[in-house]
Chain A
Amino acid sequence: MTASAREADAALTDQLVATVWSGSRYFKLGFLLLGAGSLGFAALIAYTFEVGIGLWGNNIPVAWAFAIVNFVFWIGIGHAGTFISAILYLLEQRWRATVNRFSEAMTLFAVAQALLFPVLHLGRPWFAYWLLPYPARMHVWPQVKSPLPWDFAAIFTYGTVSLLFFYLGLLPDLASTRDRAPERWRRRIYGIFALGWRGSEDAWRHYRLAYLLLAGLATPLVISVHSIVSADFAVGLTPGWHSTIFPPFFVAGAIFSGFAMVLSLIIPARKVFRLENVITPRHVDACAKLLLVTGLCVAYGYAIEFFVAWYSGDEFEIEQFFVTRPTGPNSWAFYLMLCCNVVVPQLLWSRRLRTNLKLLWLLSLLINVGMWCERFVIVVLGLEREYLRADQAAYTPSWVDLGLLSGSVCFFLFLFLGFLRFLPIVALSEVKETRRHLARARAEGAAAGG
C-alpha cells in the first residue's frame, strides 16, 4: 500500500463519516414535514384503535383491502435490501458494498411499516399476542396449519434477522464514527453502540464468518418470506389467488419493487451527500439492470397468470382475468400496473436512460406505484368478483385508508432520514476493503502483464 492509498483511505473515511455531522436546514425541514406526517399516521392509528376498522372502506366481500395491500407492498420493498446484502454478497458482487447499507436500512424500515398493517387489520389489535403460542388458560392455540401463523413467524424472523445483519455490518463503521466524532458526547454515544469494536484480527475472523453465515441464512429466508406471504393468497380458493405460480411470482415482484425503492432513495441521497465518487454510475447501472431483469420476471408472471386462467377452463378464473381485471370496478389499477410494471421498465434496455439519473429516478417512482397497484389488483379485484353473483361488490377506500397509506410513506421516509442523518450511510470498511482488493488485483495484473 502506498502513501497515496493510505491518504485515499483516510479521505474516504472522513468523507463518508462526515455525513453524520453534516446536518443542514434541509434536514430540519425534512424532519419537520415527515415528522408531521408521521404524527398524522400515529393519530390515524389511534383513531382506528378507538373506533375500529369500520372507518376503512373494507366491505364484504372485499374484507382485506388496503391493509393487506400495504402490508404486501412494504414487505416487498424490504426484499431488495436482503437481496443486495445477502445474495449479492454470496455471489461476491463487490459493487454491492456501496449500496448495501442503504438497502438494509430500507428493509428494516419497510418491515416496520409492514408489521403495523396486519395488526391493525385484526380489528382488535390488542389481541395480536394471540398469534403467539403462549400458555393460554382456555387451551386454545394458534392453528399452525394455517398460512397466517406461518406469516407471523416469517415476518418476525425476517425483521429480526434483517436487524441483526444490519447491526453486525454497522459495527466497524460505528467504531469509525466513534473515533472521528468531534465532540465527547458523540464519541460516547457511538462508542456505546460500537460495543467496543477495536478492529482486532481475532474479532474480524469471527465477524467475517458470522456475516457470511447470516448472508447464507438470509438468502433462503428472503425467498421463504414472500413465498409464505403468497401462501396467504394461494392457499385460499378465490379466483386469481389459487395458483401455484404465486411464490416465485411474489418473490420476483418483491425484489423488483425493492430495487425500484433502492433507486428512488439512493439517487437523491447520492446527490445530497455528494457521493458521486462512491456510488458511481456503474453502481446505479447495475441496479437498473437488475430492475430490468426482475421486471421481465414479473411481466412473465403476468403472462402466465393469464395463460393458466385460460388454459384451466375454469369460468371464474377466466372471468377474473379476462373480464374483471380489464373492465371491472377499479380496473384503472390493472392498467396502471401494466403500464408501470411492464411497459415502463422496457426503457431500461437503453444505456442512455440507465445513466440518466433524473429519468431513472422518475421511472423508479413509477415502478413503485405500479407495484402497489399490482397488490391492489390481486387483493381488491380478486375479492370484488368471487363465486357468488349475489356476493359481488365494488370497493372504494375511505379517507382513513388513504391517510394510513400516505402516513406510512411519511413514517418510512422519516425513519430513513434519521438513518441518513445519524448513521454512516455507506459500508465504509467494506468499501475500503474492496478498493484495496481491486488495487492489489490491478498491481498483480500489471506485474503478470509486464
Chain B
Amino acid sequence: MADALIAEFGDDAALARAVERLHELGVRGLDAHTPYSTEVVRDALAAPPSRLSLAVLAGGATGASAAYGLEWLLVAHLYPLNVGGRSPQLPLAFVPITFEMGVLFAATTAFVAALVTGRLVRLWDPVFEVDGFEHASRDTFWLALELGAANTPPEERLRAELTELGATRVSDLSRGTP
C-alpha cells in the first residue's frame, strides 16, 4: 500500500487550487515539485519563511571573529613587528581579511544549509520511481500528499478529488527504499 499519493498538473494555478481544496479537506503534509519556483504554489502551500538567514548570520559572524582573532594572535601577540612605530594591534589593517572571511564563511554556510534543509545530496528518492516524474523539471507540476494521517479523507476520495481538480495523473508514492 502506498504511503502517499502524487498527482501531476499541467499548470501551477491548477496545482495551487488543488492545494487549497486539500487544505479545506484537512489534508496536511503537502509538498509540490515544480520546474521553477512559482509564487502561486508558494502562497497556496503557505509554508513558513525559511530561517536559513540565521544560520548564515552565525556562519558569517564566526568567520569574521575567528579571522580577526587569528590576525590579532599572529601579528599583535605571537610575532609583533615594529614597523614605523605603528601599534601591533591595528584594527583598520585587520578589516579586509576579517570581511573576506566573514563573507566566505557566510556563503559556505548558505550553500551547505540550502542543501541540508532542502534534503538534497542524495542519489535516489522515491519520487524518481513515479512514471512521468522526469517532466517535473521540464513543464509539469506535481503535488505529493501523505496518506494515513488523522483526519485525512480516504485514499479513493482523494484520488477522485485530485482528478476533479485537474490532475492529469495520480500515482502511488511509496516512501520505502527501492
Contacts and interface: CB of A to CB of B under 8 A. Distances in A.
A432 B35 contact: yes
Interface in A174-206: 175-176, 178-180, 191-192, 195-206
Interface stretch (A29-37, A117-125, A135-143, A336-344): A135-143
Nearest to A145: B93
Interface stretch (A49-57, A160-168, A237-245, A350-358): A160-168
A262 interface: no
Contacts of B104: 156-157, 160-161
Q: Chain B binding site: helix, strand, loop or mixed by DSSP? A: helix
A311 B54 CA distance: 50
Interface in B47-101: 47, 49-50, 52-53, 56, 60, 67, 70-71, 74-75, 78-79, 81, 83, 86, 90, 93-94, 96-97, 99-101
A388 interface: no
A371 B121 CA distance: 42
Contacts of A172: 35-36, 137
A429 interface: yes
Interface in B4-60: 10-13, 31-38, 41-42, 45, 47, 49-50, 52-53, 56, 60
A164 B106 CA distance: 11
A316 B45 CA distance: 68
B92 to A, nearest CB: 9
A164 B47 contact: no
Contacts of B36: 172, 199, 429-430, 432-433, 436
A160 to B, nearest CB: 6
A436 B70 CA distance: 49
A446 interface: no
A139 B123 CA distance: 46
Contacts of B137: 13, 172, 175-176, 178-180, 197, 199, 429
Contacts of A220: 99, 103
A250 to B, nearest CB: 14
A9 B100 contact: no
B151 interface: no
B113 interface: yes
B122 interface: yes
Contacts of B10: 1, 3, 6
Contact of A206 (B52, B79, B121, B127): B52
Contacts of A156: 100, 104
Contacts of A329: none
B78 A141 contact: yes
Contacts of B53: 209, 213
A1 B12 contact: yes
Contacts of B93: 144-145
B74 A141 contact: yes
Contact of B111 (A14, A192, A203, A210): A210
B120 interface: yes
B171 to A, nearest CB: 15
Contacts of A436: 12, 36, 38
A311 B94 CA distance: 32
Interface stretch (A147-155, A280-288, A319-327): A147-155
A228 interface: yes
Nearest to A434: B36
Contact of A217 (B31, B32, B106, B128): B106
A394 interface: no
B114 A199 contact: no
A145 B125 contact: no
B96 A433 contact: no
A208 interface: yes
Contact of B83 (A14, A145, A154, A200): A145
Contact of B136 (A196, A198, A207): A198
A133 interface: yes
B56 A213 contact: yes
Interface string A1-36: 101011101100110000000000000000000000
Nearest to B44: A201
A214 interface: yes
B31 A202 contact: yes
Nearest to A202: B31
A221 interface: yes
B100 A202 contact: no
B165 interface: no
Interface in A203-258: 203-211, 213-214, 217-218, 220-221, 224, 228, 231
B157 interface: no
Contacts of B70: 133
Interface string B124-165: 110110000011111110000000000000000000000000
Of listed B42, B79, B96, B134, residue having the most chain A CB within 10 A? B96
Contacts of A133: 70, 74
Contacts of A429: 35-37, 137
A154 B96 contact: yes
Interface string A369-402: 0000000000000000000000000000000000
Contacts of B45: 201
A196 B120 contact: yes
A333 to B, nearest CB: 30
A224 B94 CA distance: 14
Closest 4 CB pairs of A and B: A203-B118, A210-B114, A196-B122, A179-B134
10 contacts: A1-B13, A7-B139, A141-B75, A144-B94, A149-B97, A160-B108, A176-B35, A178-B137, A204-B118, A213-B53
Given A214-B110, A217-B103, 14 more contacts: A1-B13, A5-B11, A6-B139, A6-B140, A145-B90, A165-B107, A172-B36, A179-B138, A196-B120, A199-B35, A204-B118, A205-B50, A209-B50, A221-B103
